[in-house]
Structure 1
Amino acid sequence: MSEIKKWDIIKSEYLIRRPWLTARRDCVRLPDGRINDEFYVLEYPDWVNVIAVTTDGDFVMVEQYRHGLGEIQTELCAGVVEAGEHHLDAAKRELMEESGFGGGEWKLLTVLSGNPSTTNNLTYCYVAEGVSRISTQHLDSTEDVAVRIMTRKEVEDMLRKDLLKQSLMVAPLMKYLYMPDLSE
């Protein structure tokens, strides 16, 4: 069996650099010497999401319009890690901003990549158990987010019916709900 090796970057060129989209084209040398002069990478800041469970055992979810799919989606509270911000602080901030919930006991459940082939960021997935409403929402000017408090059964039904579409949220939910011994 041969040893897998990293590619050498010969040159990189940024095609677009915007606050929410950065794309670069790399010219790379493969381990066998071949050149691929068009490999594209999307650069993003790290993301966080939160499985927030209330003191009553319900799940804090949000609904919002997702333009890529053109649909209103039910999701976990989530967002971008700001420059210099710790992942846990970002998760707590996003939960508070989007839902008004906070407090509880927090732990990191898993760290995922949306697509390690073409993106450079990671998503840090936290569990916050025992949260309660301690404020109102503090949404950004472009956000329109509705809070939905759901029972475990309702979340499980949405998973069974394939109604949750964000894979970086479905994977940690499945781990939390169905593999609790692995998430400790």
Structure 2
Amino acid sequence: MRHAFLFRAVNVGGTAKLPMAELRALAAELGATDVQIYIASGNLVAVPPGDPAAFAVQLADAVETRFGFRREVIVRDAAALRAARDAHPFVIVDPAFSYLVPLTSAPVDPTAAADVPSGDDEWSLIGVDLHVRYAKGAGRAELDLTRLLRALGVVGTARNLRTIDALLALLDRQPVTEP
């Protein structure tokens, strides 16, 4: 079964450069099949050669060995990603302003983040996914997502709903146009 493997914090700024063609080749070397990449921000869709969670760890290990940095890889199948997308609790004014943040695990104490200021931005925790709606877009966010995740004590990687929709299309084997 195809899964989405989402790398945290690659190709943003000057650190953690991960060429997508090399990531695709690396996944294939590790035994994945039907490997596809969506945009240059660490979105890989593939059929893993066994347990998807174990493959995510193998990918993280292989990237660390080959490129010299380690990043978490969060894995979701189509059903989990679609359920999270469908559960988005905010009005979607613009899919680029609404985000899904798949987490490595559910926070132990979700109330620990109650003091993180968010201004007009909104966030909600649903299971192992964080949902965010930026009132003015992520580029002008009042909510500090890094601070929020730190307060929750979890690691996650944010994707706007346009990207989530594109990943769902890839998981469903539908054609996708890049933004």
Which TM-score band (shorter chain)?
0.3 to 0.5
Higher Rg: 1
Higher fraction of strand: 1
Higher fraction of helix: 2
Return the TM-score normalized by structure 1: 0.33
Return the TM-score normalized by structure 2: 0.34
